[in-house]
Every structure is written in C-alpha cells, then in structure tokens.
Amino acid sequence: MTNQNIYSTPKIVIEGQIINSVLNISYNNPGNNQLSSINFTIQDPEYINARLLNREVEFFINEGGAESTSIFVGFIRDVKPSDSSVQVTAYDCRTFIASRESTPIVMTDKQNYDGYTAVQFLADVIKETGVDISLDMLSETSPPIPMRGLRNRNETAYSVFTNLLSRITDDDDPRDPLNYVVDVVGKSIVVTKKRVKGGTGIRFSRNDGIISMQVNRRAPITKATVYGDNNSSGTFEIGNSPTGSIGTSITDNRFKNNAECTEAAIRLVMAERNEIDEIDIQVSKGYDLGLNNVVYLDVDDMDVRGEHRISSKRIQVSSEGISYALGLDKLGPRTSDYILKGG
C-alpha cells in the first residue's frame, strides 16, 4: 500500500544540484552490515551523456514539508542510459572498501596487520587509500579485536572487518544481547553495539502510523553447540520453551577455545530467540529513523505489542506516493530463561 503523503517533498541531489526530473526512487537499507543503496531514473536527455559515476548523491524526504537532513548519502556506481532516460544506482560510502573495485587486502607472514586491532586496521586502510569516508564517528570495540595471526589474500577490507566483528557480542544486558553493527551516518562509518538513542521511543499504532503489518512466525532453535579448533566446544540452551527443544550445531575453526565457542553458541540461539521470526510494517511517519533505533508497537497482538529494534528500512517513491517499510526485531527473553553450559 502506498502512502499519499502530501506533506513530504522527496528529492534527489547530485553534487549539490537538485535533479527535478526524477522518477521511481527506491531506497534500501537491508541491515546485517550490508550496504544501503538507492536506485532512481532521471527522465532528462541532458543527463544521458553526463559523467555521473562516483558523483555524490543525496536523498531527502523532507517529512512535513520542511527541509530535513538527508535519508541517504552515497556515490553513484552504476549508470544505464537509454534513449530518453538514465537509470542510476548509488551505494553508501562503504562501497569504496567493500566493492569489487576496492583495493584488495593481502596479509602474509611478511606483510600483515599484526599488532593492530580490527578498528585500527579499518581506519588505516581508509587513510591509506584516501577514499571519501569520514572516521569522525569510528570508535574502538570493547573488547578490542586483535588482528594477530590473520592471513588472507584478495579479500575486501570491509569483509575482513565484518568477519572479525561477528566474533564478539555485547552481553552486558543478557535480556538483549547485541552484536556489533556497522552503519553509516552521512559519510561517517559507525560501529555500534548499543541502541541508537536519537529518534528512539516513537510509537506506532493502527490509528497512528501503521498502514499494514505482516508477522512471520516459526519455532526458533533453543539449543546450539559450536565446535571450534583444538577440540573446543560450547553449548547454549534456553529452557522452558513452549515449542520444545530444537537444536543445531556448527563447526567453525575461527573459535579457539571453549569460551569463544560458547559465546558463538549464545549468538546463534539469540539470533532466533523468538517465535516471531520477522515483523514488517508499512508506516506513514518516522522517515528519519535509523537502524537499531527502538520503536514501540501499540497493537492488540500481545506477542507483537512492545519494543522492537529496527533491522532494515525501505522507501519507495513513485507517482502514486511514498511507501515506507521497516523490518523489526523483537527484544528478547529474560535472564531467568537461560541455561548456560560450558564445553
């Protein structure tokens, strides 16, 4: 369903210039450390032969009709001209360290990043390559992730970094353990493990903001065992599950001892910790909300009612109006539900 929002004035800006003849804007931020992107069509013959590749592009919604900050800032990486129009695809600034065109990372016994942390490695690559990514909002993880002993060939810097991030989690609040998430704010790369405070607390209901809602449910796994290197292992289980015990196991030699295996097992179970697999809502407000913001769903279904963290975001703009969808993760069970067993 499309929201005919007459109080919003979407626009595309390329290198500071407003593009007036834009059709069918599609913005997607899928979350899970993937790049956000935007696709749109310029219905103007003057742009058919324009040099648009790597130009900076901004997407504004201007909710309420007032000038606002951009929903998306990125760089044009694909241009497909036709006889009367140009189809454009842009990605956020991480494209310079994540795409096929980015400088590959090679780490050998002679040339490596031993002594660096993962964040220091990423910052060094960005500085050395001179790509248009700001480090102003990049901060160290806790605990820092060492690069010692890491060797590889022809992998992107972003792939190296996100693979390392997947090995640690923030379990200061066992009710809501959080993996580190990489996102961007403008052209600044951000690594966060906490819920973003700005814009949180917005309430959606059937009478205020929710156009439609889809809930996909399935029975989650309740027990996981992870087998690592050197015969190490770890198991994590949630007790008293109404759906019974459903288990899984994986082998991953990245984990070197029982503690690392157990932490990985926790993340595996908690990633699927609710019967609610996915919630997708079509809404008519809150365009400036970002990934990890927390929203409250005021609905009749008690399994859905409550706080949810935004995990993905999609916006479609066409002649019919604006369609805005959020993917949500429900916050998890309480500490008393946990049973923890070391390998």
pLDDT in tens, 155-164: 999 999 999 9
Residue 197 has pLDDT above 60, yes or no: no
Q: What percent of the chain has pLDDT over 90?
A: 50
The radius of gyration of the chain's CA atoms, rounded to the nearest angstrom, is 22
Which range in 182-186, 196-200, 208-212, 284-288 is most confidently predicted, on average pLDDT?
Answer: 208-212
Note whether 81 and 40 are within 8 A (CB). Answer: no
For residue range 64-116, what is the model confidence (pLDDT) as tens digits?
Answer: 555 678 999 999 999 999 988 999 999 999 999 998 888 899 999 999 999 99
**pLDDT at residue 194, as a whole number:** 54
* 198 or 14: which leads in pLDDT: 14
**pLDDT at residue 338, as a whole number:** 36
Predicted TM-score of the model (pTM): 0.79
Three-state DSSP string of 35-98: CCEEEEEECCHHHCCCCCCCCEEEEECCHHHCCCCCCEEEEEEEEEECCCCEEEEEEECCHHHH
Q: Which residue is listed with tokens 């949810």?
A: 308
Q: How far is CA 232 from CA 164, 227, 264, 269, in A?
A: 19, 6, 12, 18
**pLDDT at residue 337, as a whole number:** 38
For residue range 121-158, what is the model confidence (pLDDT) as tens digits?
Answer: 999 999 999 999 999 999 998 888 999 999 988 899 99
